[in-house]
Amino acid sequence: MLMSDALTSCASITSTPLPYTPITAVVVQCHQEMRSFLNVEPEAFNLRQSLSNDLRVFDLALGTVLGEQQGPEFLAIARRLLTDGAVDSMQVFTLYPELRNPQVFRSLARAFTLHFQLANIAEQKEIVRVNRERRSERSESIRDAILKLKDSGYDADSMQNLLSRIEITPTLTAHPTEAKRKAVLDKLRNLAKCLTEIGSEPTLDDPLETAGRAEESIYRTITTLWQTDEMRSVQLSVDEEVRNALYFFESTIAEVVPWLHDDLLKALNEAYPNEDFVLPAFIKYRSWVGGDRDGNPNVTPDVTWRTVLAHKNQAIEIYLRKVVSLRQELTQSLKLVDASEPLLERTESFKIQKLLKSEHQKRYSQEPYVLALLAIEERLKRTINRDEGSYASAAELLADLREIQSSLQDNRAERISKSGELAHLIRQVEAFGIHLASLDIRQHSERHEEVVTEMLRAAGVVEDYSSLEERKKIDLLTRELKNPRPIMPVTYELSERARSVLEVFFVVRRAQEELNKESVASYVISMTHGVSDLLEVLLLCKEAGVTRVSPEGLIESDIDIVPLFETISDLHNSADLMLQLFENVTYREHLRSRNDRQEVMLGYSDSSKDGGYLAANWALQSTIASLAEVSQTTQIAIDLFHGRGGTVGRGGGRANRAILAQPAGSFSGKIRFTEQGEVVSFRYSLAPIAHRHLEQIVNAVLLAAAGVGARGAEEKYSRVMTELESESRQKYRDLVYEDGEFWSFYSQATPIDHISALPIASRPVFRPGNALQSIEGLRAIPWNFAWVQSRTTLVGWYGMGTAIAKLRSSPEGLATLREMYLEWPFFRSVIDNAQLELTRAHIPTSQLYAKRVKPKELGVRVQAQIEDEYRKTRDSILAITGESEILESAKVIRNTVEFRNPAVMPLSVLQVALMDDWTELSEGDPAWKEAMLQTIAGIAAAMQSTG
């Protein structure tokens, strides 16, 4: 079919085409507007012309495809919804009778969802375009950091010392909240590639015009997307979560990490041209996917074992592709150039080990690098099945690769040895080993106490360990840790619930023995409240052999035990707890075997849910400072693990600015942080986006570790922040926890009931033993997700306005606040992140949701409180920044949000209409459930956030 004939088609993916309705004027207009979907003028929102052009390309392609697939009347309905704006949700099915068909309803929501997915791609391309335009003078780059440090007086020795301290560990988490299937992600990635090729020159191997082929591919891919079900038919399994995480390692992470090492080396060569630096693998990844057991019964010991194997196999597959490519490149002949004697000797040993086929030995007898790489390829293949001759460690693989590198360097091929595919592969192996990413295990502290109680009862040690006071628990656990005998009697069988907790420790031991020590490196304890919580895990490690008692009675440990402090109270108490823990002689022995390093995880999500945005941020900042003092006092290095989420209410925002905003003197150069949900998809779908994200982090880590930043700010403004924390926390908790009717409002004014049914993660939205009836048991992700859906974004600012308004009521207070904003990176970050959430909030949309609350008086009352606090927060921030509108100095972000707002409204109207009639509709066609889930996915795509 010719594109010019597209709109004449009435083909539909539903069983019958949409019935024609008399909207002639709109249909004619649709014809005249070149079949675009929404025909919105991006320039009207002050978007850059290049971005506007890309948005138009996608809008026209989407409109054309929808015209082909659904017919012109379908486009007309979408246009009417866009034009009508905030329609009364109770009138939707009257004004749009076509929407009584759930298939049509869902298709309309899908159309808007796809519109936003395409807009996201266009924006990502724009980010790449801007970064390339500013390549030579790009701020927050690795080069920028190195040159700044050189100019500040850093000599080569100081720089080498700094490099040796840098360690960056992004950690993909086990609650991805990713609404898109891998099949959809692949197609969106292809669309991004095609959009980049439009306007480019033909390539040498392309017989047709590149741009023309790319445009045709866009239309084909959008057609396939439209005919691909975005929604999973069943709940996401843990194995699928693992595959999704591995997708990003394979598609971008494995390529970008060596790229960043090259960037650093180039910057060092530019700043210090006559110096040689030893460059460590400063970026290493970890993962929770398949190891996070907290509240997820689907993460069984078997799943965890399969996960570590899948990680290893993915690493090997990545290396195999690179080795095959290198074989085709390194074809140097002994007839033309020598090879080093050690390499030739190694090649002979490969023959003896029967790693080379006889025909290969004959064919490549004069090509030693090809022979060496064929042997490496064979060893890698054997490693997948753990056969004889496989690589037992990354060190063995690196030794083989470096022998090739050394030979090249010694034989007039230094350029080939130091850059290109071989150097790239070596960097990959240094960073990812043969395990790809160390897997963390996480479990709730209460589950450990249950198991230890059952075990100690079975052993006749104590009848009810859980009833003991904390001091007695610590004493008992310390004694048991020093006792070399196992606790469990051989004949005793644990309960199934306890066995599921204990068995994962045996999986850890198996992974460390059969694969390598790095395959599982940390055990994270959710809701850590006391020293006994860590000693319990150490005891379970001892029972499984992960931790051992030497003949001399000393503790030897192969795993880090990581407390996770999540509530504001636990954050404030964490420094005292760690001091008490470090005084325990037995635990100190464990730390000695872990190089006297202790990792501590800080929970951003639950602390924000517990006390609100401003209170949580200050609790975290003061905790970081307090833990730094503990580290200095005890001479035990404390490495911080930041549990950041996607939204500002869960610690989201610019990670590089958060690093620079840490208390002066608290940052040694090591940092670990979580990468979650839609953040993973946005940051790692495209290599240039991943590169920019990580280079900004490396920039910040270099500067922060070198001591760049405000000094003394925590002490100077501590009293002010403590007052703000108290006021904001009280305001937040008065609404969320003290108002007895708030849950009724929340559950009606957000789609939380329906989010719980969304098949986008393997973990339930409520903690075990909790029903959908209170805030306390609700997890932080769906708590945030629901507020994003209703466009309230309450968790990113509520309580802040009241606290700041009280302080700024006096001239002195306002002057202090303005001074804090100008001089203190932490406070500026808090204010600017809140500005982002205020911009993403849309009060007219939140009012649509609040209007459906029963009784009406409740909806009116709580919505009025929310809007009042919104105004207070907005006015307070403007008073501090001195600007006339929120995000006035970041208009690109503001304009992008405003461009999206008109098209988000129809999705919100559709969602609220479904919520209003849900009881009646859900008893009929089950397709209505998919329609509801599609509106949720659509708004998530529009807001680029699932919590």
Q: What distance in Å separates the CA atoms of residue 386 and residue 514, rounded to the nearest whole number?
A: 9
Question: 665 φ, ψ to 5°?
Answer: 85, 0
Q: Looking at this protein, which amino acid is placed at residue 621?
A: Q
Q: DSSP class of residue 237?
A: P
SS3 697: helix
Q: What distance in Å separates the CA atoms of residue 328 and residue 205, rounded to the nearest whole number?
A: 19
> Residue 175 catalytic?
yes
- Tell me if 355 sits within 8 A of 412, measured CB to CB: no
> Residue 609 catalytic?
yes
Q: Which residues pair with 524 in a beta bridge?
A: 442, 562
CA-wise closest residue to 257 among 279, 281, 278:
281
- Looking at 115, 125, 150, 175, which residue is catalytic? 175
CA count, 13 A, side-chain hemisphere, 734: 13
Say which residue the tokens 């991805």 belong to: 176
Q: DSSP class of residue 86?
A: S
Say which residue the tokens 């996401």 belong to: 236
Say which residue the tokens 């890309």 belong to: 54
Structure token pair of residue 249: 């390692």
The distance between the two most distant Cα atoms of the chain, rounded to a whole number of Å, is 91
Q: What distance in Å separates the CA atoms of residue 181 and residue 232, rounded to the nearest whole number?
A: 7
Q: Which residues pair with 548 in a beta bridge?
A: 556
* Residue 54 CA: distances (Å) to CA of 42, 259, 872, 947: 10, 28, 38, 28
Q: What distance in Å separates the CA atoms of residue 350 and residue 597, rounded to the nearest whole number?
A: 40
- Looking at 125, 444, 609, 872, which residue is catalytic? 609
Structure token pair of residue 53: 């052009």
Q: DSSP class of residue 97?
A: G
**DSSP of 782-839:** HHHHHHHHTT--GGGTTTHHHHHHHHHTSHHHHHHHHHHHHH-HHHHHHHHHHHHHHH
For the chain, what's the residue count? 947
Residue 732: exposure state from Cβ atoms within 10 A (0-12, 13-18, ≥19): buried
The terminus-to-terminus CA distance of the chain in angstroms comes to 42
Which residues are part of the catalytic machinery?
A: 175, 609
